[in-house]
Structure 1
Amino acid sequence: MKIESLKIENVGGISSLTLDKFHPNLNIICGENGIGKTNILDSIAHCFSTFSNNIIRKKEGSKKGKVCISIDDVQHDEHTFDITSFKPRCNTGNLPYNKNLMSFHRNIENLIYFKTERLFSHKWIERLNIYDQKRDHLYNLDGVSIGLAKDWFIKNELLSSQKYTKDNDKNSIELAKKAFGLLNQSCTFSALRQDMEIYVNTPTGVIPYEYLSSGFKTCISIVWGIIREVQIRFPNIDVKDFKGVVLIDEIELHLHPEWQGKICNTLVTLFPEIQFFITTHSPHVVQTAEADQVIALSGQDGYLEKRTLDIAPNGFKGWTIEEILMDVMGMKDTRTEWFRNKQKEFNEALDLDNVLKANNIFKELKEKLHPNSTDLALFRFQLDMLNGRNK
């Protein structure tokens, strides 16, 4: 199952947005804060469930909102959902009954949604949750719960050595272990010990899983979350063969910039058949993408469009962070307000031939700019010119 196109009208802060020609594996949605990136994920999620508590609302002042989605499954389906009220009806968010909902309901198990809550606290495992009810993983698209991630790993690791355990389940736990090394080659799964703790080999020694950094655990929670959901929903398939859709909001949360540049490739490597839709504010995430994998949004008053990125026909792997911030993510200036003010004062001093003021400003710039800054070199050249004229 692949999503082909999406049209949103008057949902949340979005007045109008049409997106098509989605990439079959990875779609990175970026744009200025508040433009409506999360609204896009929520709208997709609502199209897959009549029972979600995840609330999308019509835009203030409009009579109704609409979400239209088309997918390429065995047949080409297109479904439209109207949002007419703010209050939930029959626990369906605020989507009123629509005959199309039931026909689209067959795809609900193919969608997995990760919201921004992806950290969890340490807990002792006194007993394992042995049975997972499939229905509990289908009708709540408000975000995958990671509260039982540790239970799930321990249970599957214990069962993996048993003869009666299916090959699919053994493959799942091996893939879960493999995630450690893909994110950081110096970290590997060590053992599950009698204290029911998961231990990991790291450069500083063997440590409990919960002692890993928040960024590492965030990545693991996504990987384990996908594997666990697929295992429960589709017990008879290998997780690598899952052909569903995964939504991830703000994928860079808690991640060091180095890992922000690794996480998307890691996910696509582990799950080659999944179609990912992720939102991000991170240029490091965009820097790993091909041209047709980036959806850069722009617009005003909720009327949004996908920006044309013809300047990067071969992707962004050779671009600098600053170039991505300005030409993809829409930042007008990557410098601080302090720098811009000092630059303006320095240029005014040059125009007025004010040698004393220009020299004083240059001293401040020299103290705070990077020693190899090209801007500092230009300031020095301009100052030398001014000093030469006034000898």
Structure 2
Amino acid sequence: MSIDIEDIQKYIFDPNKPKQCKSYKLLLKIAKNENISFISPNFLQYFFGSQIINRDFENELWDKPPNYESLNAFEKLNLFKDNLSLDELKEFINNLDLNFDKFKKYTFLDRFFTIDKTYENEYKMVPKKTNPLYFNMLNSEYEEVEVRREKLCFKVSNDDVEEYFKKLIVDNIYKNDISYNGGLQFSSDKYLKNIIFFSLKYYDLLFSNVKKSSILVTLLENKNDFFKKYNDVSSSKNIKPLFLKKIEDVDLLLNVLQGDLKEEKQKEIEREDISSLDSIHIKNFYSIKNLKVDKLKDKKEIYLVGENGDGKTLFLQALAIAMKGSERDGQESFRKIKNEYSLSLEDSNKNIYNGLDLEYKNLFAYGANRNNNCQMIEDESGFLTLFDSKLDLKNPLKWLQKVDYKENRGDETLLSVDAAKKLLKTLLNSDVEIEISPEDVIFKEKGSIVSFEQLSAGYKAVITIIADLLVRLSENQPYVKEINDFKGIVLIDEIELHLHPKWKYNFVKKIRDIFPNIQFIMTTHSPTVLLGASKEAVFYKIYKEDGEVHISNQIPNEGYTNNTLISSPLFDMDTVKSRHYENAISSDDYVYEKIHQVVSKKIKNDIYIDEDKILAFIEEELEKND
């Protein structure tokens, strides 16, 4: 069946009109099945462009034109070549440590890295830091280079880009000795699969007599070139187009597609009885020699208090390994000693977790470097930021754009766009306005428009961790219809990280209000955080003696008023003062010391003072330091 160009709307992926793109349904169907995927060099250029055109790249340029920011990637690369030289551009690209994690995230694209092994035996000839980028970034000036990147191995000749792409496809799908003029035939039955092509300029594949329904993703601006070949070739009818209005839309397309693929699998997930952690026994785990904690199953707000270096992070890492296992990337050092340590955690359902046999699926952990959104390496597991500082959480902007897109498409969602905005505004305790579009997410703060990166570290920290947790909980518990019904265990190292003192005081209360059925286990050395703890909270003090980590008995908050908590051993003001005697005291400790002095004075003058008044004094002092 030919495609009428007048009926082109149903083939256009328009983020502002998600219901019109009918061919997206075909793409989803193909992506769910066994398929082969190919990405043209032009799309590679887009995916890797942001890694190449970085700050160092721009610092090398000595003659930027006034319109530099509006130039596309090709134009910026040519500008580099004109400012310096082609050889220096190649050297710059080859010295980059490009990562392919963006592709690995999309499971159906990952096949691209395993299909071409023509030059597998020539690995030794390949320079270690050669990247497969400059052949598709520098117009027609290519040199022969061999590339090795894990299982990705292909050879680039000085032919043009389209010829390279053509060769890659032919070598992997068709008989190598068949000419293009006679039409292409599949080399074996194993290649009679659905195919997903990402190509901007090369449409000869329409002559390939593809046997199963396939899809070609290209740009709308190339529609005339596409239709010129498509409607003249009877063998092309099994290939349907999906047109992007601009190449940047491929980000949203893949983000939505990957989400829809996950949701298809999640439909099979049945409701389960999700337990909480009840007891902990850790032996010979580095400086933790023998540590026991129990009676936790009814506790939803658990604080581990101690100074830096006292073992708080190590304690959380032991919990994560026990409940998730040590056979994962990022935990090599723990695998080496796994025969020496002993972990035994029991949940409220009497299940035992020792890092070997049973996995607790609904545990999520956030390390102290959790908000680093520049590495482009996403933590797919949901707990490895506790071990690896190079990993990122899920991108909160993509989450917001996906919520917006799915709502416009008419899908049922856990959160509406308005509800998501309201949730974030409540957490931020601010009148910040959020505007979402397919192109961007912008924030309006006190009348000024700012990007996500321009927000304060505290704003970004709050938005990122909540978005990440919501995405992961939704994936694991798709049957949940209300956010407050989510269950699980969340470990957060240094809960106060990047937060303003006032936020430190009430942030935990706000996330507890959102997720009342989740068990939070948090480390802190911030007195301000503990001042905001609920009556249901319990505390443990972690400390070191003679190099060995110890933990106190459970210290309940129930029955404490803030005046007694503030003078409890958890705060240990004498210790805080002595440790910082020779150094400038931190702003957090300074605020706490002022609060301590004010509250102590109020208590001394009025022995019948109630907790509400104490809280009011604390709020007043925090406001003074806002």
State whether TM-score is above 0.5.
yes
Deviations 1:22-75 (A, max 9, x none): 2532111112322211111111111222343343867x9998211110001xx4
Is 1:294 aligned with 2:551?
A: no
TM-score by length of 2: 0.43
**Are the structure 2 counterparts of residues 14 and 334 from structure 1 closer, same or farther at C-alpha, using a change threshold of 3 Å?**
closer
Find 1:209's aligned residue among 437, 444, 452: 452
Q: Aligned ranges for residues 221-260 of structure 1 at < 5 Å?
A: 221-238=464-481, 239-260=483-504
Q: Which residue of 2 aligns with 1:20?
A: 294
Is 1:79 aligned with 2:353?
A: yes
Work out whether residues 27 and 294 of structure 1, in 8 Å CA contact, stay in contact via their aligned partners in 2: yes
Q: Aligned ranges for residues 163-312 of structure 1 at < 5 Å?
A: 163=410, 165-168=411-414, 170-171=415-416, 174-193=418-437, 196-238=439-481, 239-289=483-533, 290=535, 292-301=537-546, 302-307=548-553, 309=555
Whole-Å separation in 1 of the counterparts to 2:370 and 2:308: 20
Looking at both structures, which has the greater relative contact order when contacts are Cα pairs under 8 Å and sequence separation is at least 6?
1
Secondary structure of the corresponding residue to residue 508 of structure 2: helix
Work out whether residues 45 and 113 of structure 1, in 8 Å CA contact, stay in contact via their aligned partners in 2: yes
Whole-Å separation in 2 of the counterparts to 1:319 and 1:215: 30
Q: Which residue of 2 aligns with 1:45?
A: 320
Overall identity of the aligned pairs, in %: 23
**Are the structure 2 counterparts of residues 226 and 34 from structure 1 closer, same or farther at C-alpha, using a change threshold of 3 Å?**
same
Q: Which residue of 1 aligns with 2:340?
A: 64
Secondary structure of the corresponding residue to residue 253 of structure 1: coil
Where does the alignment leave 5 or more consecutive residues of structure 1 unmatched? 82-97, 124-131, 341-369, 375-391
Whole-Å separation in 2 of the counterparts to 1:226 and 1:139: 9
**Are the structure 2 counterparts of residues 56 and 6 from structure 1 closer, same or farther at C-alpha, using a change threshold of 3 Å?**
farther
Is 1:30 aligned with 2:305?
A: yes
Kindly provide the amino acid, as one letter, of the partner of residue 177 in structure 1.
Answer: K
**RMSD over equivalenced CA pairs, Å:** 3.5
Secondary structure of the corresponding residue to residue 332 of structure 1: helix
Kindly provide the amino acid, as one letter, of the partner of residue 300 in structure 1.
Answer: E
Whole-Å separation in 2 of the counterparts to 1:282 and 1:121: 24
Secondary structure of the corresponding residue to residue 53 of structure 1: coil
Secondary structure of the corresponding residue to residue 316 of structure 2: helix
Q: Which residue of 2 aligns with 1:93?
A: none
Deviations 1:87-133 (A, max 9, x none): xxxxxxxxxxx4xx1xx22x32x11111112334589xxxxxxxx9x
TM-score by length of 1: 0.66
Work out whether residues 318 and 343 of structure 2, in 8 Å CA contact, stay in contact via their aligned partners in 1: yes
Where does the alignment leave 5 or more consecutive residues of structure 2 unmatched? 1-274, 583-593, 599-626
**Displacement of 1:339:** 7.6
Work out whether residues 46 and 54 of structure 1, in 8 Å CA contact, stay in contact via their aligned partners in 2: no
Whole-Å separation in 2 of the counterparts to 1:338 and 1:304: 23
Whole-Å separation in 2 of the counterparts to 1:337 and 1:80: 37
Is 1:157 aligned with 2:386?
A: no
**Displacement of 1:268:** 0.4
Whole-Å separation in 2 of the counterparts to 1:339 and 1:248: 29
Secondary structure of the corresponding residue to residue 9 of structure 1: strand
Secondary structure of the corresponding residue to residue 304 of structure 1: strand
Deviations 1:257-287 (A, max 9, x none): 1111121011101111111111111111111
Q: Which residue of 1 aligns with 2:192?
A: none
Whole-Å separation in 2 of the counterparts to 1:2 and 1:175: 28
Work out whether residues 120 and 147 of structure 1, in 8 Å CA contact, stay in contact via their aligned partners in 2: no
Whole-Å separation in 1 of the counterparts to 2:425 and 2:381: 30
Find 1:117's aligned residue among 369, 381, 392: 369
**Are the structure 2 counterparts of residues 28 and 316 from structure 1 closer, same or farther at C-alpha, using a change threshold of 3 Å?**
farther
Deviations 1:314-343 (A, max 9, x none): 24644586x36xx20445344468989xxx
Whole-Å separation in 1 of the counterparts to 2:500 and 2:442: 22
**Are the structure 2 counterparts of residues 48 and 309 from structure 1 closer, same or farther at C-alpha, using a change threshold of 3 Å?**
closer
Secondary structure of the corresponding residue to residue 167 of structure 1: coil
Whole-Å separation in 2 of the counterparts to 1:47 and 1:154: 35
Q: Which residue of 2 aligns with 1:382?
A: none
Whole-Å separation in 1 of the counterparts to 2:579 and 2:294: 38
Whole-Å separation in 2 of the counterparts to 1:292 and 1:205: 39
**Displacement of 1:240:** 2.7
Whole-Å separation in 2 of the counterparts to 1:208 and 1:254: 18
Work out whether residues 2 and 275 of structure 1, in 8 Å CA contact, stay in contact via their aligned partners in 2: yes
Work out whether residues 137 and 233 of structure 1, in 8 Å CA contact, stay in contact via their aligned partners in 2: no
Work out whether residues 10 and 62 of structure 1, in 8 Å CA contact, stay in contact via their aligned partners in 2: no
Deviations 1:143-199 (A, max 9, x none): 573253322221122222322x1232x35x5554233322333324431146x2222
Whole-Å separation in 2 of the counterparts to 1:272 and 1:291: 12
Whole-Å separation in 1 of the counterparts to 2:409 and 2:380: 26
Deviations 1:192-216 (A, max 9, x none): 146x222234234343333210011
Q: How many residues align?
A: 300
Work out whether residues 277 and 346 of structure 2, in 8 Å CA contact, stay in contact via their aligned partners in 1: yes
Kindly provide the amino acid, as one letter, of the partner of residue 341 in structure 2.
Answer: G
Is 1:148 aligned with 2:395?
A: yes
**Displacement of 1:253:** 1.1
Secondary structure of the corresponding residue to residue 262 of structure 1: helix
**Are the structure 2 counterparts of residues 259 and 316 from structure 1 closer, same or farther at C-alpha, using a change threshold of 3 Å?**
farther
Work out whether residues 180 and 220 of structure 1, in 8 Å CA contact, stay in contact via their aligned partners in 2: yes
